[in-house]
Amino acid sequence: MAEAARRTDRNVDRIDTAPAFTQADADALSARFEGVAADELLRTLLHEDGLGRVGVVSSFGTEAVVLLHLVARANKDVPIIFVDTLKMFDETLKYREQVIALLGFTNTSVVRPDPDVLKAKDETGMRWSYDPDGCCEIRKVEPMNRAKASLDSWISGRKAFQSHTRQNLPRFEVEKGRMKVNPLGDWTKEDLDAYFEEHDLPRHPMEAMGYPSVGCSPCTSTVLPGEDSRAGRWRGWDKTECGIHSTTVPKGEGGDLPPGYEPFL
């Protein structure tokens, strides 16, 4: 850990960092914080220098306020980053404002898609309908990569129960040299509901409408009884993640459709 912290200090003035953290660092953190409650983990990490420049990435979705509340109790000055794809539900944008005001964060930012990229690759705004991976790449992944360029580590609200693709989710993982922290990785839906009730936290208004997971408006649908909480995302496509939390996003040359992808309108 001390070695990782020293490496981070040396990189602090760089626009983007070369790989700073390794799997050994993640393993050391996992061992150190094994069995430690999420609130204590965050209080410790956000008052140490071991993670370097750290920020929180939040979707301001149906469960996001739990992590944000924990972070606010630890340090209200931590950067809170939100990716506005320009396809968000109005309810999400209003909910974000409500949560930020409630929790008192002092350093919030919104990143959006590059207008030139949108003009070149999604001029009609309909790419989601035939190439959801390409749409996520230009509206979510690229803006998020810009935001992460100034960070050494980032905190995510992912939980293992949300989807089969998130099972066995570690608390600490390394992504392109950055440490990714998943404080709520082992939390259950029951844990979240209890936390909401204990702290009287506001719910995302769309949850009561049958949306346990909320993303962009064109690619989010209601979830049926018995389905996992993310079943309403990209329904009808072999896709469960936007690309922010996955290592690869299929794309062809120049960001166009890869072979085998056909339009679905």
pLDDT in tens, 204-225: 999 999 888 899 998 888 887 7
- Tell whether 197 is covered by a domain: yes
Look at phi and psi of residue 234 and say left if phi exceeds 0, alpha if psi is from -120 to 50, else beta. Answer: left
* pLDDT recorded at residue 134: 93
Catalytic residue among 68, 181, 242, 244: 242
Look at 247 and 54; give whichever has higher pLDDT: 54
Please check whether residue 130 lies inside any domain of the structure. Answer: yes
Quick one: which of 167, 150, 149 has its CA closest to 158?
A: 167
Is residue 251 predicted with pLDDT exceeding 90?
A: no
Higher pLDDT, 236 or 120: 120
* Residue 252 belongs to some domain of the structure: no
> pLDDT-based confidence at 159, cuts 50/70/90?
confident
The edge-to-edge listing of strands for the beta sheet with 153-155 is 108-111, 80-83, 54-57, 153-155, 178-181, 172-175
Q: CA–CA separation, 141 vs 83, rounded Å?
A: 9
Task: Please indicate, yes or no, if residue 79 is contained in any of the structural domains.
Answer: yes
57 flagged as catalytic: no
Name the pLDDT band for 243 (thresholds 50, 70, 90).
very low
Q: Are 41 and 33 in contact (CB under 8 A)?
A: yes
Number of domains in the chain: 1
Find, among 82, 36, 8, the residue nearest to 183 by Cα: 36
Q: Both tokens of residue 246?
A: 């996955």
Residue 216 labeled ligand binder: yes
Output the pLDDT for position 88. Answer: 97
User: In sequence order, which ranges of the chain are alpha helices (DSSP H)?
Assistant: 2-10, 23-32, 38-45, 64-74, 90-103, 115-121, 132-136, 142-148, 189-199
Identify the bridge partners of residue 181 per DSSP, sorted by sequence position.
155, 172
Task: Tell me: is residue 129 an annotated ligand-binding position.
Answer: no
Find the range with the poorest average confidence among 107-121, 132-146, 164-178, 220-234. 220-234
Known binding residue 136? Answer is: yes
Per-residue pLDDT at 45: 96
Domain membership of residue 234 (yes or no) is: no
Does residue 231 belong to any structural domain of this protein?
Answer: no
Tell whether 258 is covered by a domain: no
Q: Which helix (H) or strand (E) holds 51?
A: none
> What distance in Å separates the CA atoms of residue 108 and residue 139, rounded to the nearest whole number?
19
The answer to whether the CB of 136 falls within 8 A of the CB of 215 is no
Can you give the pTM of this predicted structure? 0.79
- Among 99-108, 161-170, 241-250, which is the least confidently predicted range? 241-250
Q: What CATH code is carried by the domain that includes residue 82?
A: 3.40.50.620
Domain that holds residue 10: 2-209
Which pLDDT tens digit goes with each residue over 68-88?
999 999 999 999 999 999 999
Look at residue 13 and tell me whether its pLDDT is greater than 60.
no
**Is residue 14 situated within a structural domain?**
yes
Specify the higher pLDDT residue, 234 or 56.
56
**Most confident of the ranges 7-16, 91-100, 128-137, 204-213:** 91-100
219 annotated to bind ligand: yes
Distance CA 210, CA 58 (A): 21
